[in-house]
Structure 1
Amino acid sequence: MNIADPSATLNAHEDPRAALKAVGLRVTSPRVAALEALSGHGHFSVERLLDDVRKTLPTVSFQTLYGVLEALKSAGLVRKIEVGGHPALFELDHGDNHHHTVCRRCGAVEDTPCATQAPPCIHPPAGFAAEVTEVTFYGLCAECSQVSESTIAP
């Protein structure tokens, strides 16, 4: 796996072509379009990304986009978020150490900073070299919490 240098991940939303070159990937229209779509900051399903990419490249297929996302993920430019019970989501990998909250009611996925700020956020067992830690908190988002509180009978 080729991990992007921090400057490449930070520049992916500003200059996709330079970011691709920085990690040794060929600059192709589908890769540029995918990075541009992801630069909207957020968590994107493949379907949503495909809709965005097809605005500029109408003939891009699901298969092509999956290949693009896998290459971008392997290069460290994109992070795949796998939340139980939901389709995989993708976001630009900014090289920071954040986790995710998932609302069990509306499905909203939000970033939340890591309390320790330093990966891997745990003390792994002796001999284990943790590379990535993914923590997901499940509960109710602020909006759904308010709805729940307002529907409780006095």
Structure 2
Amino acid sequence: LMQAGNTVDVLEAPHTGKASVGNQLQKKIFLAYGGKILTEFPEGKSYTLVIDAVFGVGLSRSVEGEYASLIDRMNAMEGAKAAVDIASGISADNGNVLGTAFRADLTVTFAFEKVGCLLWPGNQYAGKVVVADIGITPDAFGERKPAVAALEDA
């Protein structure tokens, strides 16, 4: 987004413990490009696009406390909403809402559609789902076959 000339702010979600080496590297690169990292929620600021990347497909517990508040506040913001891979707060395995969840207009998911984006109620939070090809083929899963299939009208 920044390379396309857009101003980008990133809100660093509250976390415990030390950030991973990969996270630290990405943060350093983002700052080197002139990105701005916020540590407090930008009250009263409006954005054209709000992107959710708080949680991913590994989420298996209820979203509570500061994280629930963050997601609820992101939902209340003006502007289009997009989720990375799956909306935060949605179980990738079954589409259940784990406490609270981000309501996306668009979800850009990687490699394959996630079950949680297809099943109710998760599909109500995903918006339009676009699959981004990142080079992972079905062969990567070996003998494992998909557990579900999506059918669409012709």
Q: TM-score, normalised by structure 2?
A: 0.31
Structure number with larger C-alpha Rg: 1
- Higher relative contact order by CA 8 Å / sep ≥ 6: 1 or 2? 1
Q: TM-score, normalised by structure 1?
A: 0.31
Larger helix proportion of the pair: 1
